[in-house]
Amino acid sequence: MKNYRIYINDNTLFIADLMPKQIKKVQQLDKQDFDFELFYKNLEKVSGKDYILLDPDPKQLFKKIKKSCELIKAAGGLVKNVKGNYLFIFRNKKWDLPKGKVEKDEKMKEAALREVEEECGVKIFTNDEKLCKTYHVYTLGSKLVLKKTNWYSMTVKGEPKLIPQKEEGITKASWLSKLELNQVLKNTYPSIVQVMEVGGLLEDNIVVKPVLHAIKKV
């Protein structure tokens, strides 16, 4: 099964070739008359809804939507310390993971490491495999922006002290165990939940918000 996820605020648009098994209600959209810009505007006052576009070639449909937006690249990390705890930040009144825009001529993996070190005041020991990529849409002036974020698995030596980058709106940086993740799940973004899923943080957590099953991570 092939699929893509596009996050719009707290809403998720799935683009897939098959309807997945699910435990959460999802609204199927008509791809023939689908206008992404209009769809985005109609979601301004909507929160926590899931939508799906079905197409035999979801990749081509995703490319079409992608062309209607300005693409911005970002990168971030899911960082684990020696005690098995994970690095989370609190920014703009929500739990988040450290990330930021990729600079000109900078590689995505290098940008992820730089942003994590800058935003949390730590030294990354290993910058490992790419976990996944997420797509988030927002407006910048009159333009629709599609932010593509590559997420990487990282480690640090020991359990270093964290220094949140306050000029980036980060008020707190914390090492959290898997048993402490409920506070994150109750107040974070769907894209962060996806990274947590792929990173294996939610395998033993029973308070996860309902998600669509049979949707592979892309």
CA-to-CA distance for 93 and 91, rounded, in angstroms?
5
Helices (H), ranges, the chain: 36-42, 58-67, 108-120, 182-185, 190-198
Q: Give the closest residue to 5 by CA, choosing from 37, 69, 52, 63.
A: 52
The terminus-to-terminus CA distance of the chain in angstroms comes to 11
Instruction: State the pLDDT at residue 204.
Output: 56
Instruction: State the pLDDT at residue 182.
Output: 94
Instruction: State the pLDDT at residue 215.
Output: 41
Tell me, letter by letter, the H, E, C secondary structure of 101-131.
ECCCCCCHHHHHHHHHHHHHCCCCCEEEEEE
Determine contact, residues 137/8, Cβ cutoff 8 Å.
yes
Q: Give the closest residue to 171 by CA, choosing from 78, 113, 92, 98.
A: 92
Instruction: State the pLDDT at residue 22.
Output: 66
CATH code reported for the domain at 76-198: 3.90.79.10
Instruction: State the pLDDT at residue 216.
Output: 41
CA-to-CA distance for 189 and 211, rounded, in angstroms?
13
- Residue 104 identity: K
CA-to-CA distance for 175 and 173, rounded, in angstroms?
7
Instruction: State the pLDDT at residue 165.
Output: 96
* Tens digit of pLDDT at every position of the chain (218 positions): 578 999 998 999 999 998 877 657 899 999 998 999 999 999 988 989 999 999 999 999 999 999 999 999 999 999 999 999 999 999 999 999 999 999 999 999 999 999 999 999 999 999 999 999 999 999 998 899 999 999 999 999 999 999 999 999 999 999 999 999 999 999 999 999 999 999 999 875 544 443 443 344 44
Domain residue ranges in the chain: 76-198
